[in-house]
Structure 1
Amino acid sequence: MNKLRKLFTHTRWVSILAIMMIAACQSPQKTDTETTHAASSDTKQPTADSSSITLKNKHVKFLWRAEQFDPAYDATINTLVLDEAYIKTISDPEKAALGYVATFIGNECAWDGKATPNRSNLKCKILTALDLGYQCSDTHLGFLRHWFRSDSTALKKLENCPTIPDGSTVQETFDKIDLSVNDDEIVVAYTVTSINMRENKSWTWDVQDHFKYHDNNLELVKTEKSEPTSAGFDVSDSDT
């Protein structure tokens, strides 16, 4: 454990690596090639009256990383922080855009207790904050399928909802997420770090997903992605 604590004084992606390694010691593991969870095709309708939604122009720093003391680990760790005040007033279209992005990138996901045989109890930080339940649950996918009901590409992608907990050999996580609303367009801009612990390599890239809100639907109309930058690391460096 002393070795892991020293990792927190290294660069940002090494801090992320340390958290994943701790999670790997505490969470049930599957094979290196993670399977996807076959979610129910039932869709749950949003409780809000979506016909009355009017988007307000804004720019929000939704997620970022910060050093915080975690009593569970008795250490200061690099962790995800969310804008809780914004979440309390978030509109359903913005919630759907963020929920869709969070579906495919790790965000401090861990089994709620012991992993169930059908991998149905994976709790992720963003989905929990947005009140969307477990990863790939009916609550989660039902909400997204309602809002993306006219976007066949998005619906197809949601069929392969991943259930990958922190601590997996290959893991992706967010470094930051910003959300902007301009009339009927919602843009979610985010930075992703991917770590392969077997190869001792990491990659980082930026993404902008452009969503259009119209006719009480949401559609992913464009995705812009930067070229990944790579780096190597050596866990043994934490002893120096």
Structure 2
Amino acid sequence: MFRSILLAASLCFSLVSRAQTIEELLQQGDQLVKQMKEVEALGKYKEALKIQPNNLTALTWASLLDSREGNRQEKKDAKSRYFEEAKAYAAQAVAAGPNDPDANYAMAVAMGRIALISGAKDKVAASKDVKRYAELAIKLRPNFGQAWYVLGKWNYEVATLNAFERGAAKMLFGGIPDGSLANAIADYEKCRQLDPGFILNYYDLAVAYKQNDQLDKAEEILRKVPALRPVSQDDPKIKADAKKMLEDMQ
């Protein structure tokens, strides 16, 4: 009997330690994200998933960070590997929390990244998922600024489809998805209202204004970027790109 008590106590201690380990890994991942050490953060979230494979926070962050790291790769096959892994994590997250706005946002981001490196047919097909998951994230959390950004990016990409991509859209879906520069700008502006520190949104908003021949508005947005504080690993580069864009416009 004493041995049974010891075994039960050992099991309880093991379960508590296990839960604490997961929480510690999630906290470490969160701190590394805040420190803009995103590769290291990704490792922590993946460690957490080895212990608890359906942890919603770890799945969501692993997907988002895979999408970011994939975007930094130079070669398409390397990008594709990261983006497909991001999609897989996001799919698990959506399965674990179908009504979780962050999980749906992560899927929208992953599909958006896949769309940007795909051929015409796959790009158009993936774009349907981008819109669907971004809109669901917004429905679940209307003040989700970065989900509004993804919807704006979707509108911009649809509005600027080339002739071959438009042909693919017509063949696959009977027509071009309903997207426009005006909607892209409206979505980006909504993101800026809700998340005024999101630097990438400023850059893409300026691009959309420029594409829409609203050069004064584009310059106005770009002039706001230097005052923004970097909060993600890519922000310093985005700020540099915004500075160069402004210089080229003057």
Q: TM-score, normalised by structure 2?
A: 0.28
Q: Which protein is richer in strand relative to its size?
A: 1
Greater relative contact order (Cα 8 A, min sep 6): structure 1 or 2?
1
Q: Which protein is richer in helix relative to its size?
A: 2
